[in-house]
Structure 1
Amino acid sequence: MIVRLGLAGMAVVHLWWGLWAYAAPRHFFATFPGFGHHWTAAYPPFNEHLTADLGATFLTLAVLLAVPAVRYRRTTARLALTGSMSFNALHLGYHTFHHGTLAGLDLTASLFTLVAGLCVPVALFLLAPAERRTAETPA
């Protein structure tokens, strides 16, 4: 149940970010993550195409994470989590060495968020239980 809830939570976050970046790329770029912070805007210039493509990536991850959250299969869950880990590891790797104009608390908070974004799918991957076999479940 923890893995399914984690997958669902990750799917919701990616859906939220994806819809925002895809439907309103300029607003996403200027205001992400919100609450008075502007992490994406720290990497100018704005590019509508790339920001919308990021939204499409988030939406794709949302779908991939939602499928095993709704209909759990260990192999599907692990595949979706591997995709998430790949994206998050590359994303963290880039931002570890490229800070744009971020500094101080915003830089620390953004890197912490990226590390957490990698640790969550890793933990869920390790916790992903095998599905129970029944007489109806093929071997």
Structure 2
Amino acid sequence: MGGRGAPEATRRLVVAVVGVVVAVAAVLCPTAAGKLGKQAKALVAIKAALHDPGNVLWDWDLKFGNDPCHWSMITCQKGQIQELSMTNKNLSGTLSPAVGKLRLLRYLLLSHNALSGPIPDTVGRMRQLEVLDLSNNHFSGSIPSTLGHLAKLQYL
């Protein structure tokens, strides 16, 4: 067989394995990337409604990629945002209705800022929400009735 047969067989095997991996990734990644992309866009919309004098949200920008799991104040599990923790960050402005697009969020911690305006009724879409801490802000208006849909909510 000489020295050429084994390297050629190895090369073919590597090419075949890489082909399978690429095919599987093409099937699976668009869905995962699509979900992460939607979450990233929601976070960018949330940032746009805020005033951030300390620039603590500097990396909430799509130019840093569509994976918000690597952005500051975000905690993910299995590629899904689980926690948004922006407590005591000197933020003002309003809470964007886009927050409701983070439907698998379990912890939304926004206390000790200067957020104002109404609490978006879209918060009621976040069916996995367990902790919603909006304390020590300047929200106005009534508490949205949609919060009554949050069956897993343990702390408000």
Structure with the higher fraction of residues in strand conformation: 2
- Larger Rg computed on CA atoms: 2
Q: If the length of structure 1 is used for normalisation, what is the TM-score?
A: 0.32
Structure with the higher fraction of residues in helix conformation: 1
